Chain A
Amino acid sequence: MTTLTKEAGAPVPADADAFLSVRDLHVSFKTEDGIVKAVDGLSFDLERGRTLGIVGESGSGKSVTNLTILGLHDPKFTTVEGEILLDGQELTTARESDLEKVRGNKAAMIFQDPLTALSPYYTVGRQIAEPFMKHTGASKRAAWERAVEMLGKVGIPNPKERAKDYPHQFSGGMRQRAMIAMALVCDPDLLIADEPTTALDVTVQAQILDLLRDLQQEFGTAIVFITHDLGVIADMADDIMVMYAGGAVERGTMNEVLRSPQHPYTWGLLNSMPRLDSDLDEPLNPIPGTPPSLLTPPSGCRFHPRCTFQDRVGGTRCVTERPLLAPDRASACHLTAEQKRTIFIEEIKPRLG
């Protein structure tokens, strides 16, 4: 049991075992149109060597959360409240220079599109060597050798030569491997992978996932794996957190969440996934409506405008009262545990086939 959270809005002391611990995180952006509450009261924990999968639509706050962990948000326009503890170090209030020591060293990040995420102006080797030099104080030559070594580790053939290449000379999969090499060059304890496979072919995707798993075993890294692809997450994650409109709506181990999901939104996600074994003429069931505007989030349960089970709760609770997410295996919904189970088994599961 690794994920452990009480209710939103009521922080609990950080789990002593957790390597990463996020407590009641609020992130909001100032924009021309108003204040966007991108993350609104999020808490979770992660232990060394485990993988947390974060699932959600775009705009649900999953990427923002992870950028905030490394302090990569734009401080001019962003307000961050709550606390983020990495190996006991508080990050939200940390100085920029301290954060710099964390980034790429203790915690590294892999981005979605390796083409845009790698600088076109410098060789792959240099980009990998840079953080190593910075964090370990290694010489240029040592860093370069380390970069070549890392490239070899992530499965780039002829790494000595390829290190001198520029990113645009790499194929998509190789770029992502280089990206991973770059992230792992300082043996980080935490790796945040933000949709690392979305931009890749399916075959390449599988290779990259394999690579990540192998590397995790080798280095014992904790991974936060962000995706909107439930298939990928089933492959990778130990635990899953489902996010909607800036907050977590359900969490549990991978099996718990995928086998017996409790939240109407999770049901919708599972429902909207095409399955290889389903009939061709069976329609997909997308979640009705559109993701809410974070400028003016819906009152009560954020999901209520799109929720088809509102009437089962009865009254106006869904509209007026925000459901809380209990610690451990939990979901933030006003439906009773019984309702959740029966609805899933009777109404949702059959459709999932």
Chain B
Amino acid sequence: MLRFLFRRFLGAVVILFLLSIVTFLLFFGMPRDPALLMCGKTCNPASLANIHHVLGLDKSVPEQYGIFLHNLFFGSNQFAQGPCPAPCFGYSYHTNDQVWSTLLDRLPITVSLTLGGAVVFLIVGLGTGMIAAWKRGSLIDKMVTAASMVLSSMQIYFLGPLALAILVFQTHLFSKPAYTDFTSDPVAWFDGLLIPWVVLSTIFASQYTRMARSSMIEQLQEEHVRTARAKGMSRKYVFFRYAWRGSLIPIVTIFGIDLGSLLGGAIITEYTFGLPGLGHLAVDAVSFSDLPLLLGVMLFSATMILLFNIIVDACYAFIDPRVRLS
């Protein structure tokens, strides 16, 4: 098992490496010259060339990539903006802030949004899904199924603005989404994230409802579940011990994927609610052709996705002894 995880880990490192190359190349395909951004008001070919030199854009692409990798692992003192300890993604072209500290700075926002949302949608989604599976065929089940079908077809870019319009602008029931540090003001933190959580959870919860319901129903038809019932175990016991354990696998898989990609930047959600998290940072990085930032966010996002893939694999082992012991 450990060897397996170690192999997965190595694989993830290789993928990250390739990803950084792709992003690097992608950036050089971008139709804009980042130096123009820094060149400012009094731009002329000489100062542009100078900025190219300062940014290292006059070096060949492989060379630039080499420097990037070196800085990433060993840090660098070559930056005019100051020293850059490892992991060094350099300084943003646009804000002149250290990319790594910017990422760390924005991370709490995305983490708050994602984890808060995840707690709600996991509890609500799995809860309703299991109730529906338990009461399969009943009116409740039918209502839950229909509602989750419709809600899961909603998009954040519709539900978000709608929630804003109705709950914030029309009725003033809620505050407009904004981020406050939990440590500085927990109430404001909660207040500002409430609507994003609700919207994010509504859509995700309905997907988890559907998933939990169908995988519970599938599991309930498993032979070993029937065996457990044949042993005289109560329906509840069978439901929560036997069927539940089996239906965890698809749920954990999807949850890992969702959490990984959300933590790498819940782009549309953050954009819809104007929360300056990693996703928003990514959009900014793209629109400003901010290579160091873009690379940073990309690699960070991919790391999250891969990390959670590995965590999911580890969870499999936890859930399923067949995986653990093979």
Please give the residue numbers on chain A whose beta carbons come within 8 Å of chain B beta carbons, in ascending order.
Answer: 67, 70, 72, 76, 96-97, 100-105, 108-109, 111, 113, 116-121, 127, 130-131, 134-135, 166, 168-169, 179, 182
Contact A103 B224 (CB under 8 A): no
Q: Which of B226, B234, B245 contacts A111 (CB 8 A)?
A: B226
Q: Which of B5-13, B122-130, B293-301, B316-324 contacts A (4 or more CB under 8 A)?
A: B316-324
Which residues on the B side are within 8 Å of A182 (C-beta)? 227, 231
Please give the residue numbers on chain B whose beta carbons come within 8 Å of chain A beta carbons, in ascending order.
Answer: 136-137, 222-235, 242, 245-246, 319-322, 325
Secondary structure of the B contact surface, majority rule: helix
Task: Give 5 closest A-B pairs by Cβ, nearest first.
Answer: A104-B232, A103-B232, A104-B231, A131-B231, A119-B224
Given known contacts A72-B226, A111-B226, A116-B223, A121 and B319 CB-to-CB distance under 8 angstroms: yes
* Sample of 4 more A-B contacts, CB < 8 Å, known A100-B233, A119-B242: A100-B234, A108-B231, A111-B230, A121-B246
Contact B235 A111 (CB under 8 A): no
Contact A96 B235 (CB under 8 A): yes
Sample 11 A-B pairs with CB under 8 A, ordered by A number. Answer: A76-B137, A100-B232, A100-B233, A102-B232, A104-B231, A104-B232, A111-B223, A116-B223, A119-B245, A121-B319, A134-B234
Q: Which residue of A lies closest to B249 (CB)?
A: A121
Contact B321 A130 (CB under 8 A): no
Please measure, in the bound complex, the distance between the C-alpha atom of A134 and the C-alpha atom of B242, giving whole angstroms.
15
Contact A119 B322 (CB under 8 A): no
Q: Which of A67, A103, A168 contacts B231 (CB 8 A)?
A: A103
Q: Which residue of B lies closest to A118 (CB)?
A: B224
Q: Which of B230, B231, B233, B321 contacts A120 (CB 8 A)?
A: B321
Please measure, in the bound complex, the distance between the C-alpha atom of A108 and the C-alpha atom of B225, giving whole angstroms.
15
Please measure, in the bound complex, the distance between the C-alpha atom of A131 and the C-alpha atom of B232, giving whole angstroms.
7
Contact B233 A134 (CB under 8 A): yes
What distance in Å separates the Cβ of A99 from its nearest Cβ neighbour in chain B?
8
Please measure, in the bound complex, the distance between the C-alpha atom of A169 and the C-alpha atom of B56, giving whole angstroms.
59
Contact B232 A101 (CB under 8 A): yes
Given known contacts A117-B223, A119-B224, A70 and B320 CB-to-CB distance under 8 angstroms: no
Please measure, in the bound complex, the distance between the C-alpha atom of A116 and the C-alpha atom of B232, giving whole angstroms.
18
Which residues on the A side are within 8 Å of B320 (C-beta)? 120-121
Contacts between the two chains (Cβ within 8 Å), count: 82
Which residues on the B side are within 8 Å of A118 (C-beta)? 224, 227
Residue of A70, A117, A121 with most chain B CB atoms under a 10 A cut-off: A121
Contact B137 A111 (CB under 8 A): no
Please measure, in the bound complex, the distance between the C-alpha atom of A101 and the C-alpha atom of B319, giving whole angstroms.
29
Which residues on the A side are within 8 Å of B229 (C-beta)? 72, 103
Which residues on the A side are within 8 Å of B222 (C-beta)? 116
What distance in Å separates the Cβ of A171 from its nearest Cβ neighbour in chain B?
15
Please measure, in the bound complex, the distance between the C-alpha atom of A72 and the C-alpha atom of B230, giving whole angstroms.
7
What distance in Å separates the Cβ of B250 from its nearest Cβ neighbour in chain A?
14
Contact B321 A103 (CB under 8 A): no
Contact A131 B223 (CB under 8 A): no
Q: Which residue of A lies closest to B137 (CB)?
A: A76
Contact A119 B234 (CB under 8 A): no
Contact B321 A119 (CB under 8 A): no
Q: Which of A96, A108, A113 contacts B230 (CB 8 A)?
A: A108
What distance in Å separates the Cβ of A125 from its nearest Cβ neighbour in chain B?
13
Which residues on the B side are within 8 Å of A70 (C-beta)? 230
Contact A119 B319 (CB under 8 A): no
Contact A104 B242 (CB under 8 A): no
Given known contacts A100-B233, A100-B234, A120 and B322 CB-to-CB distance under 8 angstroms: yes
Q: Which residue of B lies closest to A96 (CB)?
A: B235
Q: Which residue of A lies closest to B242 (CB)?
A: A119
Which residues on the A side are within 8 Å of B137 (C-beta)? 76
Which residues on the B side are within 8 Å of A111 (C-beta)? 223, 226-227, 230
Contact B321 A166 (CB under 8 A): yes
Given known contacts A76-B136, A111-B223, A119 and B228 CB-to-CB distance under 8 angstroms: yes
Contact A166 B322 (CB under 8 A): yes
Residue of A101, A117, A119, A131 with most chain B CB atoms under a 10 A cut-off: A119
Contact A166 B325 (CB under 8 A): yes
Residue of B136, B232, B242, B245 with most chain A CB atoms under a 10 A cut-off: B232
Please measure, in the bound complex, the distance between the C-alpha atom of A103 and the C-alpha atom of B227, giving whole angstroms.
10
Contact B234 A116 (CB under 8 A): no
Which residues on the B side are within 8 Å of A127 (C-beta)? 228, 231
What distance in Å separates the Cβ of A174 from its nearest Cβ neighbour in chain B?
16
What distance in Å separates the Cβ of B227 from its nearest Cβ neighbour in chain A?
5
Please measure, in the bound complex, the distance between the C-alpha atom of A111 and the C-alpha atom of B227, giving whole angstroms.
8
Which residues on the B side are within 8 Å of A116 (C-beta)? 222-224
Please measure, in the bound complex, the distance between the C-alpha atom of A169 and the C-alpha atom of B223, giving whole angstroms.
18
Q: Which of A121, A135, A179 contacts B232 (CB 8 A)?
A: A135
Which residues on the B side are within 8 Å of A131 (C-beta)? 231-233
Contact A105 B322 (CB under 8 A): no
Given known contacts A166-B325, A169-B325, A113 and B223 CB-to-CB distance under 8 angstroms: yes
Contact B245 A121 (CB under 8 A): yes
Q: Which of B223, B230, B233, B321 contacts A121 (CB 8 A)?
A: B321
What distance in Å separates the Cβ of A185 from its nearest Cβ neighbour in chain B?
9
Which residues on the B side are within 8 Å of A166 (C-beta)? 321-322, 325
Contact B224 A134 (CB under 8 A): no
Q: Which residue of A lies closest to B136 (CB)?
A: A76
Q: Which of B227, B232, B235 contacts A119 (CB 8 A)?
A: B227
Q: Which residue of B lies closest to A132 (CB)?
A: B231
Residue of B222, B228, B234 with most chain A CB atoms under a 10 A cut-off: B228
Please measure, in the bound complex, the distance between the C-alpha atom of A116 and the C-alpha atom of B230, giving whole angstroms.
14
Which residues on the A side are within 8 Å of B242 (C-beta)? 119, 121
Please measure, in the bound complex, the distance between the C-alpha atom of A4 and the C-alpha atom of B285, giving whole angstroms.
84
What distance in Å separates the Cβ of B171 from its nearest Cβ neighbour in chain A?
42
Please measure, in the bound complex, the distance between the C-alpha atom of A169 and the C-alpha atom of B323, giving whole angstroms.
12
Please measure, in the bound complex, the distance between the C-alpha atom of A210 and the C-alpha atom of B322, giving whole angstroms.
30
Contact A120 B224 (CB under 8 A): yes
Which residues on the A side are within 8 Å of B245 (C-beta)? 119, 121
Please measure, in the bound complex, the distance between the C-alpha atom of A168 and the C-alpha atom of B320, giving whole angstroms.
11
